[in-house]
Amino acid sequence: MLLKLGKVPTVILSSSETARQALKDHDLNCCSRPHLAGPRELSYNYLDIAFSPFDDYWKDVRKLAVQELFSTKQVNSIQPIKEEEVKKLIDSMAESASQKTPVNLNEKFIALTVSVLCRAAFGVSFEETVLSNGKLNKLVREAYEMLGVFSASDYIPYVGSMVDWFTGLQGRREKSVGDLDAFYEQMFDLHKEEKEKGSEDFVDLLLRLEKEKTVVGNDKFTRNHIKAILMNILLAGIDTSSISMTWAMAELAKNPRVMNKVQSEIRNQMANKSSISLDIDQLHYLKMVIKETWRLHPPAPLLVPREVMSEFEINGYKIEPKTQLYVNVWAIGHDPDTWKDPEMFFPERFMDSNIDAKGNNFELLPFGAGRRICPGMYMGTSMVEFGLANMLYHFDWKLPEGMVVEDIDMEESPGLTVSKKNELVLVPVKYFDH
């Protein structure tokens, strides 16, 4: 679909075939990012990874992050952190279970991913920061809205900025940037206090690059570069994983057959061990449940917008330089030409199929594909698998008193990522006593 928003040509690709042509055959023609007002402010003028244009800085900083944070070795090394944080979550759920009180799963999952990521990437626990007590959830959602919202200044030269000012969007954006900045500053302080000891972690490494005035791409590395990169980890990492867990639990609560089947798989596999170190590789049905969740509820339904750098053709249509390109992975996941009964939550559809979610199969693209594919794919997947496996192993899940399955709504909230708009509230019931 070709649209023209103001002066900006915009293309939305909504089939797996056109997505394949763009992200595989013509990836190098279209792997930059457009200059948009929300991302510009939150990324300190595109000093991050996700919104940086395709240039030497992006290549260097992405390589650095892949080596130091996202490699399989690094991700496996954070397993003890995940186990500790999941154990805390299980204990808090067990308390609610003994009092038969409902829990808000959106909040619990976001708290879990925040704790794991802050400890893994920043080397400190978020509990002591300005954003404890659930404030982070709000801040992350607001920042995502600012990244994804339609901003007049992106499409109407000069007058657009005034429109943003009148509508209050500019003020909201500035507040969001200010709140996040305060969070990073507190992170640095906590980091300094806690990191007197211990080996160099990812934040130490970034701070060292700043201190040594290292040139990355063509830029001398500054404090703003660090903040922009931390923004990516905070927003790209936390929200997407917790959104995935919440949608999965909502679908399972709506589909008791699937819930029972996935719990049986996990419990048979674990044979009543109380350890939380699950051997995830053996949990084939759980993996299908997660893929089915990503098919119906991709956390970033339009991926992150790309900008075309040089002309190419898709199905005979010329796509010009500077065109904004969106890939509608939500539509691709709901396409009746690809998926039988696309609205149905039916993980078995993946049983005899080799479709994976790793950017090789254009029917299922929760992490995108090509040069801009999510570098946190392995980290995010292992977080979602481990978190869900434990929640489903240790607890049965009931609806709060007076509620029936039909009452669980699947309304979505707007933004660059799409989370469940309303809280998912369920009552945990302990499966066994520890």
What residues make contact with ligand HEM under the rule CB under 6 A? 49-50, 62, 117, 232-233, 236-237, 240-241, 244, 299-300, 303-304, 366-368, 372-376, 379-380, 384
DSSP string, 247-316: HHHHHHHH-HHHHHHHHHHHHHHHTT-------GGG-HHHHHHHHHHHHH--SSTT-S-EE--S-EEETT
| Min dist. Cβ of residue 390 to ligand HEM (A) | 16
| Residues 224, 293: Cα–Cα separation, whole Å | 36
Check whether 30 is labelled as a binding-site residue: no
Helical H runs in 100-216? Answer: 105-117, 135-148, 152-155, 159-167, 169-194, 202-211
Decide whether 152 or 183 has the Cβ nearer to ligand HEM: 183
| Min dist. Cβ of residue 5 to ligand HEM (A) | 19
Decide whether 64 or 425 has the Cβ nearer to ligand HEM: 64
| Min dist. Cβ of residue 43 to ligand HEM (A) | 11
| Min dist. Cβ of residue 45 to ligand HEM (A) | 16
Decide whether 139 or 169 has the Cβ nearer to ligand HEM: 139
DSSP string, 212-263: TT-EETTEE--HHHHHHHHHHIIIIIIIHHHHHHHHHHHHHHH-HHHHHHHH
Decide whether 105 or 270 has the Cβ nearer to ligand HEM: 105
| Residues 234, 139: Cα–Cα separation, whole Å | 11
Helical H runs in 15-70? Answer: 16-20, 37-42, 56-65
Decide whether 172 or 371 has the Cβ nearer to ligand HEM: 371
DSSP string, 412-434: B--SSS--BSS--EEEEEESS--
| Residues 236, 42: Cα–Cα separation, whole Å | 13
Phi, psi of 402 (to 5 degrees): 85, -5
| Min dist. Cβ of residue 248 to ligand HEM (A) | 11
C-beta separation of 23 from 362 below 8 A = yes
| Min dist. Cβ of residue 58 to ligand HEM (A) | 7
Decide whether 232 or 323 has the Cβ nearer to ligand HEM: 232
Per the annotation, binding residues for heme are 374
